Amino acid sequence: MHPPNRAFIVALEIVIFLIKSMMRIKSILVSQPAPSESSPYLDIAKKEKIKIDFRPFIHVEGVDNKELRTQKIDLTQYTGIIFTSKNAIDHYFRLAEELRFAVPDTMRYICQSEAIANYLQKHIVYRKRKISFGEKNFSDLAPLFKKFPTEKYLLPSSDVLSPDIVKTLDTANIEWTRAIMYRTVCSDLTDINVKDYDMLIFFSPQGIKSLQQNFPDFKQDETKIAVFGNTTLAAAEEAGLRVDLMAPTKETPSMTMALEKYIKTLHK
């Protein structure tokens, strides 16, 4: 068998180089607002010489007090509030102000995390208030509901609510009511071209929905798709997208860690 000639080897090396060049990621679009200067995304962009842009695919719109009334919600009837996000806090106090409801100092606040509880300081004097919070997940609040079972709780939420939240509340043996105070809606993205990017990163099913709504003719082809969370993964797969990167995992608990590892592997 004759060894391959030099011309063949050179041609093969060129083909390999071209394939690797096509696989390389040169630009990424993150479907979130631009972060601060200390963001790990910016470190990755600098280290790997990659262009990373940020654009929210979704945004929040608050409901008005008229719509809240159609839900038969009377803010004066509740002695406890369950907060799962900073958005929920902002829109609860916004509607309370619009309805001229002075939130009493005796109100009990149950917050999903310490960070959310601390955010209450934007609206109330934190000291001497009845504020409790969990570790991270909503299910971590179960002991607090057991500790304070007699309150009449209101859950300010968006139009999308996790089934895990409903399950935890229904099994807690407490009186609770959901109030839709804001909605997550698709942003207008018609001024950008997603095909200019080698990778798109999503963090929610609503982000996937926004992609479909803004770009109904989108074909993935070689565009890489990265998703965070199982619900986002399910939404991407349901939309017929090929998911190339998934977080969190045990080895990469954050999207930036997963992204950096993926890029280093791809660019070897």
Q: What is the pLDDT of residues 2-14, one digit of tens each?
A: 556 666 565 555 4
Global confidence as pTM: 0.74
What pLDDT, on the 0 to 100 scale, is given for residue 140?
94
Whether 64 and 180 share a structural domain: yes
Helix (H, G, I), strand (E, B) or coil at 179: strand
Single-letter amino acid code for the residue at 139:
S
Which residues of the chain, if any, have pLDDT below 50?
14-22
Question: For the chain, what's the residue count?
Answer: 268
Q: Are residues 158 and 216 in the same domain?
A: no
CB atoms within 10 A of CB 221: 7
Residue 222 burial (CB count, 10 A): 9
Domain boundary among 185, 218, 253: 185
Q: Going by DSSP bridges, is the β-strand pair 245-247/175-180 parallel, antiparallel, or unpaired?
A: unpaired
Residues 70 and 172 in one domain: yes
* Same-domain check for residues 78 and 160: yes
Residue 4: predicted pLDDT:
63
Domains in the chain, number: 2
DSSP class of residue 76 equals G
Clarify whether residues 164 and 122 are in a common domain.
Answer: yes
Report d(CA 262, CA 228) in Å as an integer.
Answer: 14
- CATH number at 177 reads 3.40.50.10090
Is 18 a member of any domain?
A: no
Tokens of 198: 């080698």
Give the residue carrying structure tokens 């989108």. 218
- DSSP secondary structure code for residue 1 in this structure: -
